[in-house]
């Protein structure tokens, strides 16, 4: 037998029908491109829709066909077995084609209704097929008729054409089959992953513009729907609740805890939505830059009683507003992002950065600032699609994203992205070009991340071995100190507020149900506008940062954040509180008392003393009620889409 019979023909049995599906999706994408050309043109993006479209079509089909493709050469060693396999293969690929074609034909109506390709809403509607069916018959009879004609027609043509192509005249030899099967498995697995980076591609990869529909044109509707189904299983209701409470009572507690006047809550449909007036209004509001420091727990910060690894941050603390008693909401970067950028409370579910219902129309500071004329962006040294960050940001108020592909070749590249000093050099160049244009930016560092890689010759090593967390923290501190010194020499310094804050601690561990000390993080606001240094000793949470920054920047606006404006004396003087999520345990700390919430267990009260939780047996119903209210509100706000 020839090389073609043993190797090429088995490949063609799979690849040619898949090529027909790719051709169909490309033609469909071309139609959407023409239909939405005005928006594509306004977004300034053209080619990526087709290049990335081809990429994601391959991803979808590789995931669908990895097992059948691997088995085909083995069945091809026997003509009788292959005849049976051929019948299954034809039906299997035809079913996929019907699904793909149906989703593409369904897309125009969905875009007209929801301005996006089919997503979680489509999935939710499938649960109510009777009501949806009646609605479709009443409102979209023509579309249903066309879909009823064209989906079977193109599917029939696909089946007939594939049937002609999926033919084998001679059996394949066993040795070629055994060589080809693992090769196909690896090839399809790599195609499904579509990258050699740390994480496989996802919809965030194509979030290249602030117009989410333009971004989604690069995907297929079958892909967006299946991705929505995947995410729908990831705690779409906000996780399993820790208890029960009438929602009216939940809202009453949450509103009271913000310290905002009741009259400010102005939308009965959005219970936390309110008007915040800046305590320091300005004719020209200040620029705002949030520097999110990777894994910088209090144990590494000299000013907070930790190791002497942050001399620059310790010195800068004397120049700005230093938060002595600030706590992270979680143990992951995305948890820190949701708290700092959105002011959103933690839940037992994954962070809203990664969940379905928060990818568009979810509140962020960027959206509020953009509505007030700011340019808004995310500057990162790594892969911006990691943890779905790019998609979340571009769908919720950010105008641009800068990531590792945007840095010059001279930048130091580590496993998790460029070194922090290259990150800050990029940020400085970006900010220096704004002139009088106000701007908001989130700058996210990555050098303090395992395996702790950074350039030589920058710091005196704390540990003898270079690649340790202690040395990485010291380098990260060197980079932030260098950046602030550069900023002080810039034209933008006098009009810019800088927040330096950790996303979380690097080592959240311990035998305690909630290792509270591992949530303690630094926070510092400084810049030209900060004339008098202060130390805020009030117990505070990352969710308090958003309202506080708005006031300091001189920005008034409406938002749903439930944190406290710590520029106000009444909020600094009242008992502070922190909310912390650790695995499936949520903690609420007020003073030295901590309530722990666990699923299917009653709340427990503890005293927090000397970094230890000591169970308390005296009841404290008001504290338990607050803890439960914060938890239940966050879950409802996400599940019912109340946070916008």
Q: What is the mean pLDDT of residues 152-175?
A: 71
Q: Measuring CA to CA, how many Å separate 163 from each of 26, 33, 70?
A: 22, 31, 19
170-174, 343-347, 582-586: range with highest mean pLDDT:
343-347
Q: What is the pLDDT of residues 69-120, one digit of tens each?
A: 898 888 888 878 877 887 888 888 888 888 898 888 888 877 876 667 887 6
The two tokens of residue 46 are: 């053209």
């690849």: which residue's tokens?
A: 15
The two tokens of residue 544 are: 């308090």
Contact assessment for residue 441 and residue 290, using Cβ atoms and an 8 Å cutoff: yes
pLDDT band at 203 (very low <50, low <70, confident <90, very high): confident
Q: What is the pLDDT of residues 228-244, one digit of tens each?
A: 777 666 555 666 688 89
Among candidates 38, 450, 467, which has minimal Cα distance to 217? 38
pLDDT band at 131 (very low <50, low <70, confident <90, very high): very low
- The pLDDT of residue 629 is 96
End-to-end CA distance of the chain: 66
Task: Tell me how far apart the alpha carbons of residues 560 and 546 are, in angstroms, rounded to a whole number.
Answer: 11
Q: What is the mean pLDDT of residues 494-511?
A: 84
Q: Measuring CA to CA, how many Å separate 579 from each of 60, 142, 247, 642?
A: 40, 52, 19, 20
125-139, 313-327, 378-392: range with highest mean pLDDT:
313-327
Number of H helices, E strands in the chain: 21, 18
Task: Tell me how far apart the alpha carbons of residues 369 and 290 are, in angstroms, rounded to a whole number.
Answer: 13
- The pLDDT of residue 292 is 97
């449909």: which residue's tokens?
A: 269
More confident: 246 or 144 = 246
């033609």: which residue's tokens?
A: 27
Q: What is the pLDDT of residues 503-516, one digit of tens each?
A: 998 766 655 678 89
pLDDT band at 128 (very low <50, low <70, confident <90, very high): very low
Q: Provide the b/e sequence for 269-290 (b: ≥16 CB within 10 Å).
A: ebbbbbebebbeeeeebbbbbb
Among candidates 310, 320, 318, which has minimal Cα distance to 531? 320
pLDDT band at 142 (very low <50, low <70, confident <90, very high): low
- The pLDDT of residue 164 is 65
More confident: 172 or 275 = 275
| pLDDT, averaged across the chain | 87
Task: Tell me how far apart the alpha carbons of residues 238 and 634 are, in angstroms, rounded to a whole number.
Answer: 8
Q: Which residues lie across from 289 on neighbouring strands? A: 441, 498
The two tokens of residue 379 are: 């500057």
- The pLDDT of residue 9 is 63
Task: Tell me how far apart the alpha carbons of residues 507 and 318 are, in angstroms, rounded to a whole number.
Answer: 27
66-70, 136-140, 171-175, 447-451: range with highest mean pLDDT:
66-70
- The pLDDT of residue 144 is 65
Which segments of 445-569 are extended strands (E)? 496-502, 520-527, 534-536, 540-541, 557-559
Q: How far is CA 209 from the centre of its chain?
A: 16
Look at 48-57, 317-326, 536-545 and tell me which has the smallest mean pLDDT: 48-57
Calculate what percentage of the chain has a pLDDT beyond 90: 57
């009438």: which residue's tokens?
A: 246
The CATH number of domain 247-639, selected from 3.40.50.300, 3.40.1440.60, 3.50.50.60, 3.40.720.10: 3.40.720.10
Q: Measuring CA to CA, how many Å separate 193 from each of 60, 186, 293?
A: 10, 11, 29
Sign of CA dihedral 434, 435, 440, 445: positive
- The pLDDT of residue 126 is 61
Look at 311-325, 525-539, 612-626 and tell me which has the smallest mean pLDDT: 612-626
> Is residue 371 reached through a cis peptide bond, with omega within 30 degrees of 0 on the bond before it?
no
Look at 208-212, 468-472, 630-634 and tell me which has the smallest mean pLDDT: 208-212
Residue 566: strand, helix, or coil: coil
Q: What is the mean pLDDT of residues 131-138?
A: 55
Q: What is the pLDDT of residues 547-603, one digit of tens each?
A: 999 999 999 999 999 999 999 999 999 999 999 998 778 999 999 999 999 877 789
Q: What is the mean pLDDT of residues 43-72?
A: 89
Phi, psi of 497 (to 5 degrees): -95, 130
Q: What is the pLDDT of residues 352-361, one digit of tens each?
A: 998 888 999 9
- The pLDDT of residue 106 is 84
What is the pTM (predicted TM-score) of this model?
0.77
Q: In the chain, where are the structural domains located?
A: 3-232, 247-639
Phi, psi of 522 (to 5 degrees): -85, 155
Q: Which residues lie across from 418 on neighbouring strands? A: 413
């946070």: which residue's tokens?
A: 643
Contact assessment for residue 292 and residue 442, using Cβ atoms and an 8 Å cutoff: yes
Instruction: Give the number of other CB atoms < 10 A from CB of residue 483.
Output: 24
- The pLDDT of residue 1 is 46
Helix %, strand %, coil % of the chain (to 5): 50, 15, 35
Instruction: Give the number of other CB atoms < 10 A from CB of residue 308.
Output: 13
């Amino acid at each position: 037998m020839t090389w073609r019979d043993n190797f090429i023909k088995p490949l063609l049995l799979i690849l040619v029908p898949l090529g027909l599906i790719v051709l169909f999706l490309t033609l469909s994408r071309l139609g959407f491109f023409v239909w939405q050309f005005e928006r594509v043109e306004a977004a300034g993006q053209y080619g990526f829709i087709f290049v990335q479209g081809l990429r994601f079509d391959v991803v979808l089909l590789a995931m669908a066909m990895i097992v059948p493709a691997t088995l085909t050469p083995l069945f091809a060693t026997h003509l009788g077995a292959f005849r049976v396999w051929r019948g299954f293969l034809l039906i299997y690929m035809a079913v996929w084609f019907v699904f793909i074609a149906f989703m593409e034909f369904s897309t125009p109506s969905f875009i007209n209704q929801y301005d996006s390709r089919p997503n979680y809403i489509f999935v939710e509607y499938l649960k109510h097929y009777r009501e949806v069916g009646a609605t479709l018959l009443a409102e979209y009879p023509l579309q249903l008729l066309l879909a009823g004609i064209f989906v079977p027609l193109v599917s029939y043509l696909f089946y007939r054409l594939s049937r002609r192509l999926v033919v084998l005249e001679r059996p394949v030899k066993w040795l070629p089959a055994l060589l080809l099967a693992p090769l196909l498995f690896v090839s399809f697995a790599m195609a499904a992953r579509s990258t050699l980076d740390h994480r496989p591609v996802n919809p965030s990869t194509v979030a290249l513009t602030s117009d989410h529909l333009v971004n989604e044109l690069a995907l297929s509707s079958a892909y967006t729907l299946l991705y929505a189904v995947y995410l729908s299983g990831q705690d779409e209701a906000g996780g399993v609740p820790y208890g029960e409470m009438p929602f009216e009572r939940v809202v009453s507690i949450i509103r009271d805890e913000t310290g905002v006047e009741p009259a400010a809550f102005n939308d009965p449909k959005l219970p936390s939505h309110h008007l915040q007036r800046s305590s320091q209004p300005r004719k020209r509001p200040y620029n705002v830059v949030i520097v999110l420091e990777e894994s910088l727990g209090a144990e590494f910060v000299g000013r907070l009683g930790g190791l002497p690894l942050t001399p620059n941050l310790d010195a800068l603390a004397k120049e700005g507003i230093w938060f002595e008693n600030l706590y992270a909401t979680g143990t992951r970067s995305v948890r820190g992002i949701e708290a700092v950028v959105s002011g959103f409370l933690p839940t037992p579910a994954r962070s809203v950065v990664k969940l379905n219902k928060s990818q568009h129309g979810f509140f962020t500071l960027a959206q509020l600032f953009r509505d007030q004329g700011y340019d808004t962006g995310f500057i990162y040294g790594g892969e911006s699609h990691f943890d779905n960050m790019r998609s979340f940001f571009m769908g919720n108020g950010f105008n641009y994203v800068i990531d590792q592909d945007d840095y010059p070749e001279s930048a130091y590249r580590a496993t998790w992205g460029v070194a922090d000093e290259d990150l800050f050099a990029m940020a400085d160049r970006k900010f220096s070009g704004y002139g009088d244009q106000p701007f908001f930016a989130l700058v996210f560092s990555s050098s303090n991340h395992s395996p702790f890689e950074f350039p030589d010759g920058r710091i005196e090593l704390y540990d003898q071995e270079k690649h340790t967390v202690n040395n990485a923290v010291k380098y990260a501190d060197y980079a932030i100190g260098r950046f602030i010194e550069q900023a002080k020499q810039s034209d933008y310094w006098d009009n810019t507020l800088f927040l330096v804050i950790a996303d979380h601690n690097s080592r959240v561990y311990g035998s305690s149900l909630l290792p509270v000390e591992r949530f303690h993080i630094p926070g510092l606001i400084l810049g030209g506008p900060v004339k008098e240094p202060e130390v805020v000793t009030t117990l505070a949470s990352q969710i308090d940062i958003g309202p506080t920054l708005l006031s300091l920047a001189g920005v008034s606006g409406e938002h749903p954040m439930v944190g406290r404006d710590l520029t106000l004396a009444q909020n600094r003087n009242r008992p502070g509180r922190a909310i912390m999520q650790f695995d499936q345990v949520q903690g609420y700390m007020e003073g030295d008392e901590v309530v722990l919430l666990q699923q299917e267990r009653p709340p427990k009260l503890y005293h927090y003393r000397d970094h230890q939780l000591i169970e308390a047996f005296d009841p404290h119903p008001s504290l338990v009620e607050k803890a439960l209210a914060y938890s239940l509100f966050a879950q409802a706000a996400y599940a019912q889409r109340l946070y916008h």
